[in-house]
Structure 1
Amino acid sequence: MQESNFIRFAEVIKVKSEKRVVSITVRPLITNCTGSIYFTDLQLQEGDKLTGYTPHTEAFLKYSPNPVRFHNGVVRSGDTIIIFNLGETSNGLDCYIYPLQAMEAGSIQLSQGMGSHKVRFDSEAYAGDEFALKASTRECLRNGYPTPKHGFYQYTAATDSKHQVKLQDRKSARVYFEYKEMLKGDLRP
């Protein structure tokens, strides 16, 4: 049986900042080769740093000796929260939203950076509710019970990580983000 080696490649696609990207077509092209080639994942993301919640299989991650880190605040209508992750790599982010007023279904949204990795809570919200989007356990909860969402679990990128919180216009909520910093490990003995 032949051993398979998977290699992660990253390329930067530069666009003119004043132009809006409507679509991208990716056509993998292999020339002058023999053997088998498998494409397992293609990922597009904003920014110039390679991130992602799932690490390459050659590296294990280990927890930093630092305690669990958290950031909290109050958001009205919407705001961008910047998290300073001092870990060496990305990690899942547990997000908690506590509405201070009633909000329409689908009006609470979270996203990364400039709007990627977006998630929307599909149910209505009332003052005192707790919405929990937990990447650590892959759960989406409202007051401790499963609730529908549309989109992705969130993560915090290494170094600084931008997170947009959008609420119904002129409504407010407390937000609480929690994560554990991760260090790079090594699979080899």
Structure 2
Amino acid sequence: MGNVRFIRLAEVVNKKQDKRVVSVTVVPTITDCSGTIYFTDLQLQEGPALTGYAPHTEICLKESENAPVWFNGIVRSEETVILLNLGGTSAGLDINLYPKQYMEGGSVTLAQGVGGQKATFPNAMNAGDNVALLASKRECTRNGAKETKEGFYQYSAAWDSKHIVSLPQGKSAQLLYSMQEMDDGGELL
């Protein structure tokens, strides 16, 4: 992951009146910078003392000694795919989806377990496209160009994890799942 650093920022929201806060809008603004910035673990808490702490996952994970693994298959309409993750903890999934027919925008979804962590693709897909949802790079592409997705990157839970692939009725796609299994990296602090 290169030169990743976790920087914690905190801000106090003061109320003008003695009433409850109904909503808070956070607008991250970056100027005069280059590179990639990820905003994670936004936490709002009541009271004057800062209590929560969420370290960057890089310090508590390490790659498993197992080589990267690949799972390849064909899905028709809706299927549940079960992947074996022999690592000691969850691992990000890279998924390449190759539609066999034209599929309308919003008709293809990927999800975890019983439907959580869902990812939907709002643009139509053509037969032979390579739609890549890559957790390892935090990017979604179609035929190598940036592609819009709605929802979450996918991951594989330790041991076995269920993945729901939903396509339009009567349509099919080839899927390639790949992951580097992960293990616990030692002490958190």
Verify same fold: TM over 0.5.
Answer: yes
State the match for 1:47 in structure 2: none
State the match for 1:83 in structure 2: 83
Looking at structure 2, the residues matched to 40 and 133 of structure 1 have their Cα atoms a distance apart, in angstroms, of 29
* SS of structure 1 residue aligned to 2:80: strand
Q: 1:36 aligns with which of 42, 49, 54?
A: 49
1:163 maps to 2:163:
yes
> Could you tell me the percent identity over the aligned residues?
45
1:182 maps to 2:175:
no
Looking at structure 2, the residues matched to 84 and 92 of structure 1 have their Cα atoms a distance apart, in angstroms, of 13
The number of equivalent residue pairs is 144
State the match for 1:60 in structure 2: 60
Q: Which ranges of 4 or more aligned residues in structure 1 deviate by more than 6 Å?
A: none
Q: Structure 2, unaligned stretches of length 5 or more? A: 1-44
8 Å contact from structure 2 (residues 60, 188) kept in 1: no
Amino acid at match of 1:180: Q
Looking at structure 2, the residues matched to 168 and 142 of structure 1 have their Cα atoms a distance apart, in angstroms, of 19
Looking at structure 2, the residues matched to 157 and 63 of structure 1 have their Cα atoms a distance apart, in angstroms, of 14
Amino acid at match of 2:82: I
Question: What is the CA-CA distance between 1:39 and the residue it aligns to?
Answer: 4.5
1:134 maps to 2:124:
no
* SS of structure 1 residue aligned to 2:93: strand
Tell me the TM-score normalized by structure 1.
Answer: 0.70
- When residues 64 and 37 of structure 1 are mapped into structure 2, their CA distance, relative to the original with a 3 A threshold, is same
Tell me the TM-score normalized by structure 2.
Answer: 0.70
State the match for 2:16 in structure 1: none
1:95 maps to 2:95:
yes
Looking at structure 2, the residues matched to 150 and 40 of structure 1 have their Cα atoms a distance apart, in angstroms, of 28
Looking at structure 2, the residues matched to 176 and 93 of structure 1 have their Cα atoms a distance apart, in angstroms, of 10
